[in-house]
Structure 1
């Protein structure tokens, strides 16, 4: 198999995999990244550089497994884990992904609503929510939304270009950029935003959606496509964070819109409003669909029930996610805190999905020695598990600690406890996948 690909092959692969970058550039990315820039300047850039690289590694693993086996990620997990234990693992994975999709869905609708309200502030939030939800339901029911999704993705991409143009003008030197892209820092009160930045970039359901995209591609084409598509998404996310530095006063969508207007004129408001709406509405279709596709891939292989796209089971799953998002979206919840929390929830769930992926990617009987994870793939995946596990555990502790259930606020001891728990987990996995695998 040739390791070199032509320009046309690389460009075609980029277009094929661009669905990944379009999927994670939603309202959550715009909100979390710009708020991080507004609050901490470029100090949290490292979270985006880390999560972009991590997303590339995990997506490559999922796609490589599909190329090797001819099956998507859910089917691979279903084959690997049989019996009662397997059913419990698959159920736990589905609940984790579906819960994350429901959290995303609330943020997606709130983001789309906010985009509309930037132009039409007098409209009823409840009525906008219901109209958007009905539109999503209709498109999901007929299962024919590809053309609309592509059009919305173009609007999101144009908004991304606008953010890149604005980011170039941010008053920051190359030294500040380079330092914050590489060196981790944890400013006081930044824990929720850090795990949110990771959760909005490494989207767990993208692993299931993206695992089947590589069918028919060579490893070289697949890898170039993922690197370019996810890399572009990461660059846009970094640009959004940098643009957040220009916000003056309290953070809000209106303040971010004003910052863009200062650099681009009225065009900035138009691009931001339409882009925010497009990102929210397209993602509001993708999140329920992703939950249903995950259930389909996990349960259809050993179930007699119908899991086709027009089946009752498939529609019940995406309907439950859509209804949950609609319910919370119509309750008058403030969009920005809700969206940041949704990204943090997905960041906390990420280690569970990553560990399941790690076990499946090391099954040489299923994938063959040539396609199963090697030493370095396992090494970097373990780093991802370790970082996300530590941040997730600390984020959970922070939430508990703030209500004063156990120790005084800002207690130091639990940080060491979380570090020990993470270390024990990683050492156990390292023994299994680095040392024991190397001896076999």
Structure 2
């Protein structure tokens, strides 16, 4: 496969990257860079490898079985009680989780536009919700995919430009990829991993590859798409942390990402502020589009409904998730509180989904010759143990134990 063919394969994986580089990731990477400098760049590198491992499995499951992850979860168990509990977890956790993320996505993207234009983020939040709804309502997968890929490119260029303008220390960047855990950094490490490895993206990927490709023969293209797209997503996250690390003295506390965009102006001129704000908008809008899609595919698959993009029930699910986000804007929700709540939901759900995914990837009646090999299982087990640790830490943090 030559370079042109590899680039043409980009699509479903880019939607996954668009989904995890939302305002939550921008906020967490910015806060980490300002507080600890370049020290946790290694965490992003690890997170990207772990995300590629799980997302490749999810995409392979979708292409070989022809099922979404929600459908596979519903069809794997003969025990009615286990089946109903599984459906409840998917519909409840994914539905609530994507709705919570949606509110943070719209509020974050609107903050980027408000910084550039001076127009209220409430106005921009409603506009973003309407535009995202119109795009999804077309039911045209190729149009949705191209729009999101285009915005990922805009996001990458914007954040890279802001990083270049701020002038980072290249030597310090290299040192940042050497693993280490500075005092008080465990919470931020958990946050960085949790904003990158997102449970609902596994549902999104298993379904969207079926819209792009037709079966096992396309696994190679799908794998290329997954690796390249998620690597680009990780690079974008790195540029955000680098920008914050270069812009502020180590130990600086940032209360919100909109504040960071404003503070870049006196340090690197107005263009840095504009580029960062455009990137923040693109991050918010792409995530505001992919979260409802993921929630709709997960819910319709788990309930056995038609998962066609134009089906009434599919549209109803993403419509409710999108409406929750817009309503949060109108009610003046706090982006920070909403993003934290979404992280808690993800922390609880992700271990369950990851464990089931490993289980499903070893079922020969489902995948035949395309089941996991030893290396894939070993990597999956390591990643799963880490996300279980993240889930437990999230629950303990909420309970006030840690």
SS in 1 for 2:399: helix
1:191-340 alignment runs, 5 A limit = 191=187, 193-212=188-207, 213=209, 214-216=213-215, 217-248=217-248, 250-251=253-254, 252-258=256-262, 260-261=264-265, 265-300=269-304, 308-340=308-340
Please give the alpha-carbon distance, in whole angstroms, between the structure 1 residues aligned to 2:144 and 2:313.
25
Please give the alpha-carbon distance, in whole angstroms, between the structure 2 residues aligned to 1:233 and 1:179.
21
Report the counterpart of residue 101 of structure 1 in structure 2.
98
The change in CA–CA distance for 1:346 and 1:236 in structure 2 (over 3 A counts) is same
- Is contact 1:153–1:279 with CA below 8 Å preserved after alignment? no
Please give the alpha-carbon distance, in whole angstroms, between the structure 1 residues aligned to 2:19 and 2:27.
15
Greater C-alpha radius of gyration? 1
Measure how far apart 1:283 and its partner are: 2.0
Count of residues in Structure 1 that have an aligned counterpart in Structure 2 = 391
User: How far does the alpha carbon of each residue in 1:199-242 deviate from its partner, in whole angstroms, 9 at most, with x for none?
Assistant: 22122222222224153453332222211111111111111111
The change in CA–CA distance for 1:186 and 1:20 in structure 2 (over 3 A counts) is same
Measure how far apart 1:383 and its partner are: 1.1
User: How far does the alpha carbon of each residue in 1:330-353 deviate from its partner, in whole angstroms, 9 at most, with x for none?
Assistant: 332332453355345424421111
Residue 51, structure 1, aligned to residue 47, structure 2: yes
Measure how far apart 1:54 and its partner are: 0.8
TM-score by length of 1: 0.79
TM-score by length of 2: 0.86
SS in 1 for 2:10: helix
Measure how far apart 1:184 and its partner are: 4.3
| Structure with greater contact order relative to length (CA < 8 Å, sep ≥ 6) | 2
The change in CA–CA distance for 1:159 and 1:219 in structure 2 (over 3 A counts) is closer
Match of 1:64 among 60, 64, 67: 60
Measure how far apart 1:400 and its partner are: 1.7
Please give the alpha-carbon distance, in whole angstroms, between the structure 2 residues aligned to 1:56 and 1:172.
28
Please give the alpha-carbon distance, in whole angstroms, between the structure 2 residues aligned to 1:310 and 1:226.
26
- Is contact 2:12–2:226 with CA below 8 Å preserved after alignment? no
1:142-157 alignment runs, 5 A limit = 142-144=138-140, 147=143, 150-151=146-147, 153-157=149-153
1:355-374 alignment runs, 5 A limit = 355-368=355-368, 370-374=369-373
SS in 2 for 1:362: coil
- Is contact 1:105–1:325 with CA below 8 Å preserved after alignment? yes
Measure how far apart 1:372 and its partner are: 0.8
The change in CA–CA distance for 1:388 and 1:113 in structure 2 (over 3 A counts) is same
User: How far does the alpha carbon of each residue in 1:396-432 deviate from its partner, in whole angstroms, 9 at most, with x for none?
Assistant: 2123226xxxxxxx6xxxxxxxxxxxxxxxxxxxxxx
Moved more, 208-217 or 45-54: 208-217
Please give the alpha-carbon distance, in whole angstroms, between the structure 2 residues aligned to 1:307 and 1:63.
16
CA RMSD between the two structures? 2.8
1:158-177 alignment runs, 5 A limit = 158-167=154-163, 170-172=167-169, 174=171, 176-177=172-173
- Is contact 2:265–2:273 with CA below 8 Å preserved after alignment? yes
The change in CA–CA distance for 1:133 and 1:379 in structure 2 (over 3 A counts) is same
Please give the alpha-carbon distance, in whole angstroms, between the structure 1 residues aligned to 2:297 and 2:133.
16
Please give the alpha-carbon distance, in whole angstroms, between the structure 2 residues aligned to 1:254 and 1:318.
27
- Is contact 2:292–2:319 with CA below 8 Å preserved after alignment? yes
Measure how far apart 1:153 and its partner are: 4.6
The change in CA–CA distance for 1:140 and 1:107 in structure 2 (over 3 A counts) is same
User: How far does the alpha carbon of each residue in 1:132-181 deviate from its partner, in whole angstroms, 9 at most, with x for none?
Assistant: 3344344434435864764465344234234334546655453x444542
